[in-house]
Amino acid sequence: MKTQFIYHTIERLGELLKIAARKAGAEYGLQPVQLEVLHYLSVCNRYSDTLMAVTEYLGQTKGTVSQTIKILEKKQLLDKISDLKDKRVSHLKITPKAIALIKDKIPTTMFINASNHLSLTQQQGISSTLQLLLTTLIQSNNMKSFGHCFSCRYNAKSGDSGYFCNLVKEPLTEKDVLLICREHLSNK
Ligand code: SF4
């Protein structure tokens, strides 16, 4: 069994990614968790940009995430927008300043350097293997997948070019289906 070896490899990768992310965030005066929140909000859809969804995704307490959000608001990296249908719900929208920051720092320079040393075939192989590991980890532990919308069971093609969500009963754009979602349900 290779379980121990796989675990140690992933753990080491995780540590190296954290070191690089800490360094990248520090250049903008951000703590790692603040950068993680901004990154999550830059890739999630409109059904997943709430305080509760961020809390679930990061596995942090509600108090920690609330505090982080307050700091990001003060730094003008994030705005709270009330939901049009339900005023009790706030959506967390990152500002253009935060979008530029994420574009500059994620993936980190360290990661891009490593990736550039791999051939396209190697990158595709690593991507499939990691995806398999992630899916297995999530499914075997009954966790939320937070997967990409295009791979969701509720995602249906509508007409020639559009998409439709059979869960929330709303149309989706081509951009929407590339984002991750709190309600995602795997096709498998
Ligand atoms: S199709 Fe699935 S992933 Fe996409 S918005 Fe609906 S529930 Fe979320």
pLDDT of residue 188: 61
pLDDT score of 187 more than 80: no
For the chain, the 3-state helix, strand and coil shares in percent, each to the nearest 5, are 55, 15, 30
CA-nearest residue, atom 1 of ligand 1: 155
Looking at the predicted structure, is the pLDDT value of residue 1 above 90? no
Q: Is the CB of 167 under 6 A from ligand 1?
A: yes
Contacts for 54 with CB less than 8 Å, ≥ 6 apart: 37, 40, 41, 60, 65, 69, 92
SS3 5: helix
Give the residue carrying structure tokens 């192989």. 125
Q: How do residues 77-101 score in pLDDT, each as one tens digit? A: 999 999 998 989 999 999 999 999 9
Model confidence, pTM: 0.93
Query: Which is nearest to 28 in space by CA: 104, 84, 95, 83?
Result: 104
Q: Is 47 in the pocket of ligand 1 (CB under 6 A)?
A: yes
Q: Is 184 in the pocket of ligand 1 (CB under 6 A)?
A: yes
Domains of the chain: 1-117 (1.10.10.10), 120-188 (no CATH)
pLDDT band at 67 (very low <50, low <70, confident <90, very high): very high
Number of H helices, E strands in the chain: 7, 5
Judged against a pLDDT cut of 90, whether residue 157 lies above it is answered with no
Tell me which of 44, 47, 170, 174 to substitute to probe ligand 1's pocket, judged by most ligand atoms within 8 Å of the beta carbon: 47
The per-residue pLDDT for range 123-137, each reduced to its tens digit, is 999 999 999 999 999
Q: Give the pLDDT confidence of 10-44 residue by residue, as tens digits.
A: 999 999 999 999 999 999 999 999 999 999 999 99
- Assess whether the C-beta atom of 44 lies below 6 angstroms from ligand 1: no
CB atoms within 10 A of CB 115: 12
Is residue 154 packed enough to be buried (19+ CB in 10 Å), middle (13-18) or exposed (0-12)?
Answer: middle
The verdict on the CB of residue 149 being under 6 Å from ligand 1 is: yes
Q: Is 165 in the pocket of ligand 1 (CB under 6 A)?
A: yes
If one residue of 167, 175, 185 were mutated to test the ligand 1 pocket, choosing by the most ligand atoms within 8 A of its CB, it would be 167
Q: How far is the CA of 146 from the centre of ligand 1 (A)?
A: 10
The confidence score (pLDDT) of residue 158 equals 76
Q: Percent of the chain at pLDDT above 70?
A: 98
